[in-house]
Amino acid sequence: MKNRLAFTLTAAVTAAVAMLGSACSATTGGSSNGSGASNVDAVSPGVTGDMINVTRRGFDGDVNSPIGRMFTAVLNYYNQQGGVAGHKLNPVPMPSGNETDPKASQAEVSQKDCLAISQANPKIYAVLGDAFIPGFDSCLSSHGIAVVLSGNLIVPDDLTSQAPYAAGLGITPRKAAEAMTAVLGSTGYLTGAGNVAVVDVPEVEAYQPAVRNTLIPALRKAGAGKVTEYSLPGAGTDPAADKAAAANLVLRMNAEHVDRVVLFGEAPGLAAVTKQMISQKFTPRIAAMGGMISEGPKSTGLGDAPADVLQQFVGVGWSADTATPDQLTKLTTDNTAARKCAQILTDAHLSDENDLLRGLSMCDSLNLFIAALAHADPQHLNAKSFADGVGKVGDFDATTTFKAKFSDTEHAGVNAYKRVEYQSACKCFVSTGDPVAING
């Protein structure tokens, strides 16, 4: 459930991942300092009087829409507690570039959306609760607009270079690869493995360097025999094309006697691979991670998998289980930050599960925003002061992330993982054990 939204966001943005928007600062008129960031004003134009103007994707100004009710309820609570750095948070509509050309690339759409936000009236200080979108977030940085990410999704290893004024709850491909290796090595997954396939989607997810430089060498060192990268072309944009590409890839893996399949990424098209494995009755032991497994077997393409396939499945996750009502209830009971956020929403008469899921993400964004700007001079609030403040946050209590930590060089805060396994009693995936810190 929680990452029902995160997984949907992944589906919406993975087509942009391979098309980085470094050209944005060259075409938008933003003054760049060479790192993708602009030479920001001493005070952001998005700070007016005692207000900080903020927005979020999907908020069109209608405070009675599902997103509008959740967004304003959370902002109102924090404003009642004193706001941020002595300022109240003012929700403003998120403009759109209104790209109508169906042939427009995701990079073109992202750039138009960025320009619309940079030219908005009133001006915007920060975009809250968004997934990382290459081109879009780097373009916002070039215009001196902060971005607070959420969703526990994968973000680039070089986030601080691509989008210097973006930060939030994400995990880098390198850390995801290290977590995957650690779990596979400790669970017996690699015992007796003769031919391990690592499946990625380089056309829509920029994770190939982590696959080649971190994951594959580590799997070999951990005892895997042969380890081969299998790339799925163009997954996630055309279901029919995904199915055909997945079918061909599975036929190839079967012919090459693969006995382990590691799905590395969160592109929706990866689920087509597991569906084809089940359809073709080719059932090596499967491993997957993150947003792909967050909704349970169905989102992983294993909804029709035999019991033995599910029992042998190994997953790696970095956020709490929220795929079932019982899991969500447990989270909002046991986790202090989640319990507080749930109460905010309940007090605002928002009890729908989707309201809660959106609200948890928004609470994380605002809590990080507040924590970062607590280190800023209220007289000099700009995107750089947000980014500098993130570097001073350190350990961070999140609603769903197992452990989060920020520093000057680490603006993607997810920093721990758990093994995930299938449980027949709930027909769901469940994280097990204590969180394990990545890199100790």
Q: Give the pLDDT confidence score for residue 36 in this predicted structure.
A: 53
What gap in Å lies between CA 299 and CA 271, rounded to an integer?
7
Does the predicted model carry a pTM greater than 0.85?
yes
Looking at residue 10, its pLDDT comes to 47
Q: What does the block give as tokens for 230?
A: 């299998």
Q: Which helix (H) or strand (E) holds 70?
A: helix 66-80
Domain ranges of the chain: 2-171+328-415, 174-317
Give 350's Cβ-side CA count (13 Å radius). 24
Q: What pLDDT score does 34 carry? A: 41
Q: Is the peptide bond before 122 cis (omega within 30 degrees of 0)?
A: yes
- Domain 2-171+328-415 identical in fold to domain 174-317: yes
Query: What is the second-level CATH architecture of the domain 2-171+328-415?
Result: 3-Layer(aba) Sandwich (3.40)
Listed residue (344, 315, 340) closest to 397, CA to CA: 340
Q: Would you state the pLDDT for residue 295?
A: 82
Yes or no: say if 173 and 210 are a contact pair by the CB < 8 Å rule.
yes
Q: φ and ψ at 273, to 5 degrees?
A: -65, -45
Using one digit for the tens of pLDDT, what is the confidence trace for 266-296? 887 899 999 999 999 999 999 999 888 888 8
- The superfamily CATH assigns to domain 174-317 is Response regulator (3.40.50.2300)
Q: Which residues of the chain have pLDDT under 50?
A: 1-35, 440
Q: Give the pLDDT confidence score for residue 382 in this predicted structure.
A: 95
Task: Give the pLDDT of residue 379.
Answer: 84
pLDDT at 101: 77
Tens digits of residue pLDDT in 346-378: 999 998 888 898 899 999 999 999 999 999 888
Quote the CA–CA distance of 8 and 151 in Å, as a whole number: 10
Three-state SS at 90: strand
Residues 6 or more apart whose Cβ sits within 8 Å of residue 343 = none
